[in-house]
Structure 1
Amino acid sequence: MNKIGVLTSGGDSPGMNAAIRAVVRKAIFHDIEVYGVYGGFAGLINGNIKRLGLGSVGDIIHRGGTMLQSARCAEFKTKEGQMKGIEQMREHGIEGLVVIGGDGSYRGAKALTELGFPCVGVPGTIDNDIPGTEFTIGFDTALNTVIDAIDKIRDTASSHERTFIIEVMGRDAGDIALWAGLAGGAETILIPEENYEMDDIADKLHRGNERGKKHSIIVVAEGVCSGVEFARKLKEAANIDTRISVLGHMQRGGSPTAADRVLASRLGARAVELLLDGQGGRAVGIERNRLVDYDIIEAIEEKKHVLDLDLYKLSQELSI
């Protein structure tokens, strides 16, 4: 393999640039040409492809977002769109592709793999919801962003003796809410993977008030409901007034943490190694601090991201 490509797709996550840098420099170290695909799968279809050198990825390891930009592309969900992308890569002599992103990105890589074009998936999403890896690129940074917000909101909650509802990202996975809620000392954490009883939450808040506790933090993953909706339900059920903070896209931004930079560098470099070994149709991950790889088709079709419910149980025990 003499030429490979790299693209980022779906929602951006801090550390994607570090992964791009690792792909480019690892490949060049092995005398392989690298081509960046700008604008995700849409850029692949449109041929927005440029050769990258060492200088192309200089001074990006500390930056959030993705230098290759990202976009969603309905056309790439069709076989015709996928074949257009393959033809563009063939015109540039690209023989393998590293795809950095989340579930939708992996499905794009899977489609190319099934059409005979070798791809390797690298997990880049703040939601931490990709099967086959304990952590995804961007999760640690987003987590620390949320914890910082919780700490600051708690200062205000304490000063004004209020209950605050903090809505965080996590449409299908509650990792951000769970980890940030536990680390931030939240009294209640709501995640998509577990049901909740409003009466139990109300009772906990009332018990806290009775023992002199004047403020509380409730962390809600967006996949459960919006912060506004939950505030309304809590008011109806327990006549408790709240204030709401929706953190939104600030969770995706910012300079990646050291943990995300190191993880991205390791995973990006490993993706190149797999392509050089002729192993397309794979995805990389990390388990127990060891790099792993697995069949990308099997991962999407058969595996499922599993939340650490022991952490959820612990959060309930510590927030009595």
Structure 2
Amino acid sequence: MLKKIGVLTSGGDAPGMNAAIRAVVRKAIYHNIEVYGIRYGYQGLMEGNIKKMDLGSVGDIIHRGGTILATARSQEFKTEEGQQRAIEQLNKWGIEGLVVIGGDGSFRGAQKLTSRGFPCIGVPGTIDNDIPGTDFTIGFDTSLNTVLEAIDKVRDTATSHERTYIIETMGRNAGDLALWAGLAGGAESIIIPEVDEEFSNIIHRLERSRERGKRHSIIVLAEGVGNAFEFSERIKKETGIETRVTVLGYIQRGGSPTAQDRVLASRLGARAVELLIENKSDRMVGIRNNEIVDNDIDDILSGKHHLNKGMYNLSKELSI
């Protein structure tokens, strides 16, 4: 019978992580399982920064952004010595299973612990929505709405001054945030890592808009494609069009999670505890067609997130 589990957040923070922590703690306590919160991710695990959590520990956090357990990246944990230190701490505290909330780097850590015989379940929390095996990750919807709000506000200024604006979003290797926000915000061009679009096509759309009397445009650029300021200079050089840049940066990670992220985090966190109760390990929970699923973490890490090409094509069709 499972008696004690741990929970940690690792890597970049994402709105909804607190809702996931809350679900893990309360689901476990409902099943008479003790829960131990591990601060500062794997670094805190190696250092024994662990504290028992109760129902009050997660009161009034479902609406808060960030993570009450804090998060950090650890180079030391990537070593065999670091992983052994982590196992020793887990054994010292009597923890029998671990819920890891984070992205692919966090899951690689869980994979290492699992390979050493320690049960781990992954919960996908990242604003990039770049994890295979799930339609959505915790934090994506909140970040998307933050970006969309920025696009709407910038468009007011773009219209008033009749200028072209480039809005740079996060998304190092995945363009979901830029694509969804660009489609929802009516952007004229969406530039993402998954599609190698000719720069001449972007220029053509801008000039075509000018020819039909439109004096302002919005371009959404994922950071993984390139520097927004360089794109701005290139557009001005080739067209003479006045261009401004807005880099949203870390504002995209903050804020109170949306209802969708709170519900998703609650469902995924609870299911992670259920899997540990069922003596399952090396799994990642996710959502497919609004149903909670779980997949082998090894398959997740060797897989690839696929962009919705239909949505991308639609954005091109609607921006004529």
Query: TM-score w.r.t. structure 2 length?
Result: 0.99
User: 1: distance between equivalents of 2:313 and 2:81?
Assistant: 47
Given that 1:40 and 1:72 are in contact with CA atoms closer than 8 Å, whether structure 2 keeps it comes out as yes
Given that 2:163 and 2:241 are in contact with CA atoms closer than 8 Å, whether structure 1 keeps it comes out as no
User: 2: distance between equivalents of 1:236 and 1:82?
Assistant: 52
Cross-structure match for 2:269 = 268
Aligned pairs (5 A) from 1:234-273: 234-273=235-274
AA partner of residue 18 (structure 1): A
User: 2: distance between equivalents of 1:77 and 1:61?
Assistant: 31
Cross-structure match for 1:184 = 185
Moved over 6 A (4+): none
User: 2: distance between equivalents of 1:35 and 1:60?
Assistant: 17
Aligned pairs (5 A) from 1:40-189: 40-189=41-190
AA partner of residue 235 (structure 2): L
Cross-structure match for 1:292 = 293
Given that 1:199 and 1:237 are in contact with CA atoms closer than 8 Å, whether structure 2 keeps it comes out as no
Shift of 1:238: 2.6
Q: Which runs of 5+ in 1 are unaligned?
A: none
User: 1: distance between equivalents of 2:112 and 2:309?
Assistant: 32
Cross-structure match for 1:22 = 23
Given that 1:198 and 1:234 are in contact with CA atoms closer than 8 Å, whether structure 2 keeps it comes out as no
Given that 2:41 and 2:72 are in contact with CA atoms closer than 8 Å, whether structure 1 keeps it comes out as yes
User: 1: distance between equivalents of 2:18 and 2:186?
Assistant: 32
User: 2: distance between equivalents of 1:237 and 1:10?
Assistant: 40
Cross-structure match for 2:313 = 313
Q: Is residue 2:304 matched to residue 1:304?
A: yes
Query: TM-score w.r.t. structure 1 length?
Result: 0.99
Shift of 1:263: 0.1
Deviates more, 1:190-199 or 1:266-275: 190-199
AA partner of residue 220 (structure 1): L
Shift of 1:115: 1.1
User: 2: distance between equivalents of 1:34 and 1:220?
Assistant: 42
Identity %: 68
* 1:182-241, Cα deviation, whole Å (9 max, x unpaired): 000000000000011111111111111111101000000000012112112222333322
User: 2: distance between equivalents of 1:297 and 1:200?
Assistant: 39
Length, aligned pairs only: 319
User: 1: distance between equivalents of 2:250 and 2:294?
Assistant: 30
User: 2: distance between equivalents of 1:153 and 1:84?
Assistant: 49
SS of residue paired to 1:17: helix
AA partner of residue 309 (structure 2): L
AA partner of residue 299 (structure 2): E
Cross-structure match for 1:32 = 33
User: 2: distance between equivalents of 1:266 and 1:64?
Assistant: 17
AA partner of residue 130 (structure 1): I
User: 2: distance between equivalents of 1:204 and 1:308?
Assistant: 22
User: 2: distance between equivalents of 1:114 and 1:16?
Assistant: 25
User: 2: distance between equivalents of 1:56 and 1:133?
Assistant: 29
Q: Which runs of 5+ in 2 are unaligned?
A: none
AA partner of residue 313 (structure 1): N
User: 2: distance between equivalents of 1:203 and 1:276?
Assistant: 57
SS of residue paired to 1:273: helix
